[in-house]
């Protein structure tokens, strides 16, 4: 974020949002496609959403994953992995990323146009919202990947 971005963001309310990097047994991460009719439609993102009044970030993420993907996540499965800060027109986005390796149920796209499982080293090939770029780099570091040593993997659409 540039100094100009920070200056524009001053005085704007903070907009906290939570996101999940669901990691399967093969080391792939789930992305969902933003639905038509919403801002940034067609882009791929980590599932999650905004906090409701009085919610903790963890509680909001568990609720959002149930609503969006029809999965149940135990609180102990949430690992804080990174964050992104992005000025928006009328507020300032604070995006908190959690890694989740255990859940009940099979993820289904209840609110998204599609789901895809992809390897961390492939994520930058998918068009994502601007705030997700730093999260991809943080996630790769968190999971122990480096751009210099990663071998290409396979991804699969759901």
Give the pLDDT confidence of 26-52 residue by residue, as tens digits: 999 999 999 998 888 999 999 999 999
Question: What's the rounded Cα separation, in Å, for the pair 61 and 22?
Answer: 12
Q: In degrees, to the nearest 5, what angle opens at C-alpha 56 toward C-alphas 51 and 62?
A: 75
Highest averaged pLDDT of the listed ranges 12-16, 19-23, 122-126: 19-23
14-22 and 48-50 as β-strands: parallel, antiparallel, unpaired? antiparallel
pTM of the model: 0.84
Q: Any idea where the domains of the chain sit in the sequence?
A: 3-143
- Residue 85 is inside which H or E element, if any? strand 78-87
Domain 3-143, CATH among 3.40.50.800, 3.90.79.10, 3.40.50.620, 3.50.50.60: 3.90.79.10
Question: What's the rounded Cα separation, in Å, for the pair 95 and 134?
Answer: 10
pLDDT tens for residues 73-126? 999 999 999 999 989 888 899 999 999 999 999 999 999 999 999 999 999 899
């Amino acid at each position: 974020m540039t100094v100009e971005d920070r200056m524009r963001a001053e005085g704007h309310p903070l907009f906290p949002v939570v996101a999940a990097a669901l990691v399967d047994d093969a080391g792939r991460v789930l992305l969902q496609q933003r639905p038509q009719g919403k801002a940034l439609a067609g882009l791929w993102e980590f599932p999650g959403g905004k906090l409701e009044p009085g919610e903790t970030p963890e509680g909001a993420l568990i609720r959002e994953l149930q609503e969006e993907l029809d999965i149940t996540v135990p609180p102990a499965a949430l690992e804080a992995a990174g964050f992104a800060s992005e000025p928006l027109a009328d507020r300032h986005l604070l995006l908190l990323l959690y890694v989740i390796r255990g859940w009940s149920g099979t993820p289904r796209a209840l609110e998204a146009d599609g789901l895809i499982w992809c390897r961390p080293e492939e994520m930058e090939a998918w068009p994502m919202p601007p705030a997700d770029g730093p999260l991809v780099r943080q996630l790769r570091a968190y999971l122990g990947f480096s751009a210099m040593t990663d071998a290409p993997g396979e991804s699969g659409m759901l």
